[in-house]
Amino acid sequence: MTLSLYTHEHFMKEALKEAVKGKEEGEIPVGAVVVCQKRIIARACNQTEKLNDATAHAEMIALTSAFNYMGTKYLPDCTLYVTLEPCVMCAGAGFWAQLEKVVYGASDNRRGFDLIGPQILHPKTEIIKGVMARESKELIDDFFREIRKKNN
């Protein structure tokens, strides 16, 4: 029996580490990593506050970083791991990247791309959802709970 270290959970944990980093910097805690041939080639947390840019989502930054690392305009052998279901913008970016897989944790019932439909991603992209969903959601719920506590 061979035990693989490179499970979806393994890489999602790395995305969660990014989300925690984001939280420590006052960002909505969403993290992402891009994996190619079992190696993490890019990682990022949400940076909308730091960069004053509503488009600076973890996925966008990680994808741009992955393009840069690979030196290619497409990422057909890459998997994007992200703790929260991508929004329409990020799924649209995934379409252009022609990602092999998108693996996400918690669903986003307000802004997730799946509200519009899976056709936003590239037809070749496999979608796997719910990986470490509980941990991913808890991180976000805690974040907003703390914000509400501060504001009361």
Binding-site residue total for a second copy (CB under 8 A)? 33
Regarding 133 and contact with a second copy (CB under 8 A), the answer is no
Q: How far is the CB of 124 from a second copy (least distance, A)?
A: 14
Q: Which residues are catalytic?
A: 59
Q: How far is the CB of 135 from a second copy (least distance, A)?
A: 25
Q: What is the DSSP string of the chain?
A: ----S--HHHHHHHHHHHHHHHHHTTS---EEEEEETTEEEEEEE--TTTTT-TT--HHHHHHHHHHHHHTSS--TTEEEEEEE--BHHHHHHHHHHT-SEEEEEE--TTTBGGGT-GGGS-TT-EEEE-TTHHHHHHHHHHHHHHHHHHH-
Per CB under 8 A, the list member of 14, 49, 135, 138 interacting with a second copy is 49
Please report, as ranges, the residues that interact with a second copy according to CB under 8 A. 48-49, 51-56, 60, 63-64, 67-68, 70-74, 87-93, 95-98, 116-117, 119-120
